């Protein structure tokens, strides 16, 4: 059994070093990498919406909360805008973000999130599928598996994919060996549970290809030695 995600895995291993080296250019690099990964996952940036006659899905996750973690929600909002420009529909984009940044008292421009200096407002139009206390590991797993009955709160949107569909999963937040953090107390996503979710999705035969892009410390530990 194999998952076609080797390119994003390579990015997870190299991205922390790349960002460390480039420092202040992080947002520019992030923007370019996001576009490159989306293009690799879904084909030409002008035709994400109808690759191989299948449906393209995206699950975008900012796993943090608090104004100090501004960048995670900014990156997810930017990824949403890239996907929308490429033709994906809101019904096929599932967004997990705490949504406490745009109107935060520390935000000098209320209702605005940017992901580069003097950048455009990437918050505009972003679906609020799972926010606040609805941003949970349980809901994320259920959404990936297309298990609507397991969802608690939120929009109820799930990846209702078929065998010819393509799935892009993007996670931005903090991490540690074998763990991706989530905003709730004791609600982190562990590598073994994430891999179990991927195996279950694979066994269901409900996608043709999947790309996973994890931007977090120790991101490689989520996959290395665990994928079959």
**Cα(first)–Cα(last) distance of the chain, in Å?**
6
77 counts as catalytic:
no
Q: Which of 26, 166, 174, 202 is catalytic?
A: 174
Query: Could you tell me which residues come within 8 angstroms of residue 43 by beta carbon, excluding any fewer than 6 positions away?
Result: 51
Residue from 50, 1, 80 nearest 166 by CA:
50
Whole-angstrom CA distances from 10 to 7, 118, 145 are 5, 31, 24
User: Is the Cβ–Cβ distance between 57 and 161 less than 8 Å?
Assistant: yes
174 counts as catalytic:
yes
Q: Which of 72, 77, 166, 217 is catalytic?
A: 217
Place of tokens 């997990």: 96
Catalytic residues: 174, 217
């Amino acid at each position: 059994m194999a998952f076609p995600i080797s390119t994003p895995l390579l990015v997870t291993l190299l991205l922390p070093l790349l960002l460390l080296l480039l420092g202040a250019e992080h947002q520019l690099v992030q923007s370019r990498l996001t576009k490159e990964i989306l293009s690799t996952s879904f084909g030409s940036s002008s035709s994400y919406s109808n690759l191989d006659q299948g449906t393209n899905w995206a699950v975008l996750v900012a796993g943090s909360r608090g104004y100090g973690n501004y960048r995670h929600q900014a990156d997810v909002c930017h990824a949403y805008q890239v996907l929308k420009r490429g033709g994906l529909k809101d019904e096929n984009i599932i967004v997990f973000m705490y949504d406490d940044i745009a109107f935060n008292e520390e935000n000098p421009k209320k209702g605005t999130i940017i992901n580069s200096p003097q950048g455009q407002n990437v918050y505009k139009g972003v679906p609020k599928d799972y926010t606040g206390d609805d941003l949970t590991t349980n809901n994320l797993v259920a959404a990936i598996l297309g298990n609507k009955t397991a969802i608690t709160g939120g929009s109820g949107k799930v990846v209702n994919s078929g065998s010819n569909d393509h799935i892009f999963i993007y996670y931005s937040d903090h991490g540690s060996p074998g763990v991706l953090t989530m905003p709730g107390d004791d609600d982190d996503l562990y590598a073994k549970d994430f891999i179990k979710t991927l195996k279950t999705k694979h066994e269901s035969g409900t996608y043709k290809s999947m790309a996973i892009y994890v931007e977090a410390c120790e991101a490689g530990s989520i996959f290395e030695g665990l994928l079959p």
